[in-house]
Amino acid sequence: MKKIAAALLAIMLSGVLTCARRENFTPYTVDRKQSSLEIRVSREGFLKALGHDHVISATELSGQIQLAQPNVTQSSVTFVAATSSLVVVDPGEAEKDRNEVQSTMLGDKVLDAARYPQIQFTSSGVRFVTQKEGVTELQIEGTLRLHGVEKLVIIPVRLRMTGGNLTADGELPLLQSNYGIAPIKVGGGAVRVKDKLKISFHIVAEPLSESEGITPHNSR
């Protein structure tokens, strides 16, 4: 019986090691110069015509992708945006108005950047949707940490290889109230910011070389 048990254990270990060898993990790092993240904030209320929508851009992005091949669902993602790097773009608006909106956004009434300096996303699972014409569509599940609150989110992503780099595009709707943020309102609510935001991103990631220090992949 001991010999049979030992043989079965050896077979099982051989199968596990074979599967591990089949998965090839390639690390990529986010290129902040080529990547972008944009937040669109709309207004509502009886006097909404007196206000204006906001376009906000993040300028400090970082993160890593561990791309698994051939089974992309074993991949993982970490992503960070510095809260203080969020800039109110608002084309066509006066600089004074943009500065006021930015000050309010980063202040303690909204994002409280001094207390919560980072917006973080860490994946916990990847689901394959489809692949067509060089574009792989995925649904990435993970934890989004914003304003000190952690929530599970699912992000649809379009992934492609471009000249050796990975590019990922997608959009995510978000309710501010889910993260303890009360939408700004003025005039008793006659003009107010909508609770739902739309976050869109274009991420470019470059392969890491061994000299840059590869972080080993941790299997889930």
Q: Which residue has the higher pLDDT, 13 or 57?
A: 57
In a domain, 43, yes or no: yes
Query: Which residue type, as a one-letter code, is found at position 184?
Result: I
In a domain, 15, yes or no: no
pLDDT average, residue stretch 81-87? 97
Give the pLDDT score at 8.
42
* pLDDT greater than 60 at residue 101: yes
What confidence tier does 94 reach under pLDDT thresholds 50, 70, 90? Answer: confident
Q: Which residue has the higher pLDDT, 208 or 13?
A: 208
CA 217 – CA 1 distance, rounded (Å): 37
**Prediction pTM value:** 0.81
In a domain, 142, yes or no: yes
pLDDT in tens, 184-220: 765 343 347 889 999 999 999 999 875 455 444 443 3
pLDDT average, residue stretch 39-66? 77
pLDDT average, residue stretch 75-101? 92
> Measured in whole angstroms, how far is the alpha carbon of residue 18 from the centre of its chain?
32
8 Å CB contact between 175 and 160? no
Say which CATH number the domain at 32 has.
2.40.128.110
Give the pLDDT score at 209.
72
pLDDT in tens, 132-189: 999 999 999 999 999 999 999 999 999 999 889 999 999 999 999 999 999 876 534 3
3-state secondary structure the chain: CHHHHHHHHHHHHHHHHHHHHHCEEEEEEECCCCCEEEEEEEEECCCHHHCCCEEEEECCEEEEEEEEECCHHHCEEEEEEEHHHEEECCCCCCHHHHHHHHHHHHCCCCCCCCCCCEEEEEEEEEEEEEEECCEEEEEEEEEEEECCEEEEEEEEEEEEEECCEEEEEEEEEEEHHHHCCCCCEEHHHCEEEEEEEEEEEEEEEEECCHHHCCCCCCCC
In a domain, 220, yes or no: no
In a domain, 18, yes or no: no
Give the pLDDT score at 183.
86
In a domain, 196, yes or no: yes
User: What's the structural domain count of the chain?
Assistant: 1
In a domain, 12, yes or no: no
Report residue 132 as tokens.
Answer: 């067509």
CA 197 – CA 53 distance, rounded (Å): 11
pLDDT in tens, 33-47: 999 999 999 875 333
Give the pLDDT score at 219.
38
Structural domain containing residue 63? 24-212
In a domain, 137, yes or no: yes
What confidence tier does 53 reach under pLDDT thresholds 50, 70, 90? Answer: confident
Question: What average pLDDT does the chain have?
Answer: 83
Of 45-54, 58-67, 75-84, the poorest mean pLDDT is in: 45-54
